[in-house]
Amino acid sequence: MRRDPIEHQIELALRPGAFIHDRTCFSFVSELEKIVGRIEGLIATDAARAAGLYETFLACCHAKAEELDDSSGSFGQFAQDLICRWVKARQASDADPNGTAARLLAWMDDDPHAFCYQIEKDVTKALDKAGRVAFEKLARARFEAAPIQPEYNRRRWSEVLRAIYLARRNVAAYEALTQETGLTAQDCLALATIHVSRKPSLALGWVERGIDLDRKTPHGSAAGYDLARLQRELLTRLGRGDEALDAAWAEYQEHPSKYAYEEVMRFVPKAQRAVWHEKTMEAAVSADLHSAMELFVGTRETERLADRVRGATGEALEAVSHYATEPAAMKLEKTHPEAAARLWRSQAMRIVKAGKSRYYDAAISNFERARRCYARAGLVAEWEETVRQVRSNHRRKTGFISGFEAVAAGAGHKKQPSFVERARARWGGGREGDRS
């Protein structure tokens, strides 16, 4: 039997026997997607052949899974996409939907590399009406056959049924299933989503029921944020904007942050924005340090930002991620150099204390900026105390201390040339096009 030429391309692209490291997995998957594009082009003329190639590709992915590091998840996502494409190709070839559903469930049962993990969310979108009916019939049989204890299999197949009912917008079936398994906040969000476009009042009822369930959950649920946001949108659509603002304000007071601020201001009438801005800023005193920095940077509240930095201990500043401290330090350098100096110092200290040698160059740059800010603020003694502490506690970190001593001596931090720059210098000049 003649081998399909695309099968040879699949084999070459998968590089059998070669281990694929995580750092190269994304580019590896990009090459595989080129083959998928060629198979996709066959569906209009030979859908059965396309389905067979997708199935072969998936089998090869199972074999290749032992030869790569998929920490990023890109290869697993690629395999899930193959399954959904296989479904569409099968449907285009007029294949038996019962056979398609049976094969899907067989793959879900025998899934050593988790290619089918929560695949029902995507595959129900790929299935046509007949396919969903067949998939539901088999999933329902699995659900009813699963013992109540242990509950894993019963819960697993109930999740599959939920995805099917949501895709089919079958409210009655979804509600009936929740009566068998128990209603969750996520269920309320799903049911609200079904009703949101045509029956906003009914959708709001489900949202509020979900919020109540979420509050009763010890640590909340994954649906909590989406429920709160949808509640405010529905209240606004129903002409109850004041209630939407009250809900956003209550959430802000509980957890002040940049994002909660933006949500409050979405519902504030234009004429009242200045008053509400001041109100939110005054309430931000209860925000944690990270959230307060992001909020004050985002709202250009430089004075409040500087006051919050001045009031924080060195240990507290060091505990805040550089994603918050760096923008804050840059914001403060010109107007409040003493506060900026503390932030640059805290960033550097966090790296050095943790011994993160790969980031020592960044730490030295941060110390250099701290030195300049201390000098601009007339706080030379504070900089000298920093130098004393670093020398006392970190002098044995040889990969760091020489660069720090250059900064301490006022020589500044010299950025190391890039690999390309070093290569050009070693080779003896630039490329032909770079020469004058």
Is position 84 within any domain? yes
Q: What is the pLDDT of residues 23-69, one digit of tens each?
A: 899 999 999 999 999 999 999 999 999 999 999 999 999 999 999 99
Which stretch of DSSP H or E encloses residue 184?
none
pLDDT at 435: 43
User: How much is the mean pLDDT over the chain?
Assistant: 92
Q: What is the mean pLDDT of residues 265-280?
A: 96
Cis amide linkage into residue 112, ω under 30° from 0: no
Is position 112 within any domain? no
Is position 151 within any domain? no
User: How many angstroms separate the Cα of 85 from the Cα of each of 55, 81, 147, 167, 198?
Assistant: 10, 6, 33, 17, 31
Is position 72 within any domain? yes
Single residue among 95, 119, 151 that ends a domain in this structure: 95
Closest by alpha carbon to 348, among 379, 330, 325, 327? 325
Residue 112 in this model has a pLDDT that exceeds 50: yes
Whether 407 contacts 413, CB under 8 Å: yes
CA distance 131 to 162: 16
- Would you mind telling me the total number of residues written for the chain in this entry? 436
Is position 245 within any domain? no
Residue 314 in this model has a pLDDT that exceeds 50: yes
Number of H helices, E strands in the chain: 24, 0
Is position 197 within any domain? no
Task: Look up the pTM and report it.
Answer: 0.71
Boundaries of domain holding 84: 1-95
Is position 104 within any domain? no
Single residue among 55, 74, 95 that ends a domain in this structure: 95
Is position 144 within any domain? no
User: How many angstroms separate the Cα of 424 from the Cα of each of 21, 401, 433?
Assistant: 28, 29, 13
- Give how many domains the chain has, as a whole number: 2
Residue 391 in this model has a pLDDT that exceeds 70: yes
